[in-house]
Structure 1
Amino acid sequence: MDRIALNERKATGSTANISFRHEDKIYISASGTCFGTLKEEEFAVLDLKGEYIAGPKPSKEAPLHLLMYQKKGSGAVIHTHSFYSTLWSCLPHESMIDIMPEHTPYLKMKLGKVGLIPYAPPGSRELFGLFEEHMEGSDGYLLQNHGPVVGAASMMDAFYAIEELEESARIAWSLRQVDALIC
């Protein structure tokens, strides 16, 4: 987690959450924690059905993480509100299954297709229902007007994928601005 702590600019304040699976348990950052200061005792422990086992109160976004474990077989999940990914999620897109342009090959290599999940309030049952409904066909997700959710086999793979997603969104946004100037 040192690399995550060193890269706080991807997640500001206490607005992001991470989790990982170990054996038959999910460890998820507690509500109100910060990546830059995260400690072992700041993880809630849940079973694979989402039942609370121990630790502090889990993030209100725990159901998003659970869906990634249940439906995608992830070993770790990261959800942030990183600037460019969130900015990109606010734009209209033709397809909801793969909304990120392929300006470089690395996003596809490290993550795959990035789907758009329609807006619903953070932490709401509506959001969790929309997430489950729109998961198929994509590998990572942008919650509309909210931020990315990425799962992978390991925490470092999830980190590399969300880092590449943010960089791809930055490139896409920058090129969109250049196109607007040229036209």
Structure 2
Amino acid sequence: MTSSESQAREEMARLCKSLFDRGFSVGTAGNVSVRLEDGILMTPTNVRLGDLDPDRIAKIDKDGNHIAGDRPTKEVFLHQAFYETRPDAGAVVHLHSTWATALSCLEDVDPDDCIPPLTPYVVMRVGSVKRVPYVKPGDPRSGDLIRALKGKYAAVLLGNHGPVVSGKTLFSAVCAAEELEETAKLLVALRGQKTTLLTNDEVADLKATFGTI
């Protein structure tokens, strides 16, 4: 095992425990992956994010073959699709966090823009978010839904399921997932209220200053 892989395993265990301890994941829900030069590290199936053993984190090769660690999450297709369509993605975080999952269940949410520009940080760290139709957990069609987006979105909401966020690094993906969750909480809390969103010009200014996701 290379030193970079060992460091990635340690970071996964540390950041996943942080997510679990702060309630972004409960039970064995959620899964996280990190892209390596020779494959992908993935959280194992049926293991709480707060209990990861770095040495037992699953590893698959570039062809999707399981080559090390425990058996990977059943959402392997979802993660692979993000890496295939977003070449800059270095990590993917899928959570069942409460407020983003609640948003994924609401009938009147715009599926093409389900996280509107309520705050500058959701624009800077998450970008536009697409809601894709429900498929059962572990269904290979989840990968097909992500591939159909052709890399346009760094984050999606899986219908009636929860958020999936990619990032250039694991740290940035975790931060973006947290930002998405907090923005979803604000959106649900503000439902029925007269809300001011950032204007198109303000969003464009943020993208010009900080770049796009």
Q: Which amino acid aligns with 1:16?
A: G
Q: Which amino acid aligns with 1:64?
A: L
Aligned partner (choices 18, 39, 43) of residue 6 of structure 1: 18
Alpha-carbon distance between aligned partners in 1 of 2:192 and 2:18, rounded to the nearest angstrom = 29
What is residue 118 of structure 1 aligned with on the other side? 133
CA contact (8 A) 2:100 2:184 kept: yes
Bigger strand fraction: 1
Cα deviation 1:107-129 (Å, max 9, x = unaligned): 11012111111111111123332
Aligned partner (choices 36, 40, 62) of residue 50 of structure 2: 36
> Which stretch of structure 1 is more off in the superposition, 14-23 or 47-56?
47-56
Aligned partner (choices 99, 103, 113) of residue 88 of structure 1: 103
Q: What percentage of residue pairs aligned between the two structures are identical?
A: 35
> Which stretch of structure 1 is more off in the superposition, 149-158 or 133-142?
133-142
Alpha-carbon distance between aligned partners in 2 of 1:97 and 1:138, rounded to the nearest angstrom = 10
Gaps of 5+ in 1: none
Gaps of 5+ in 2: 1-10, 195-213
CA contact (8 A) 1:97 1:138 kept: no
**Structure 1 residues 135 and 175: alpha-carbon distance in aligned structure 2, compared to 1, 3 A threshold:** farther
What is residue 153 of structure 1 aligned with on the other side? 168
Match status 1:99 vs 2:108: no
Q: Which amino acid aligns with 1:50?
A: G
Cα deviation 1:118-144 (Å, max 9, x = unaligned): 111111123332232245532201000
Alpha-carbon distance between aligned partners in 1 of 2:44 and 2:154, rounded to the nearest angstrom = 25
**Structure 1 residues 48 and 159: alpha-carbon distance in aligned structure 2, compared to 1, 3 A threshold:** same
TM (norm. structure 2) is 0.78
What is residue 61 of structure 1 aligned with on the other side? 75
Structure having the higher Rg: 2
TM (norm. structure 1) is 0.90
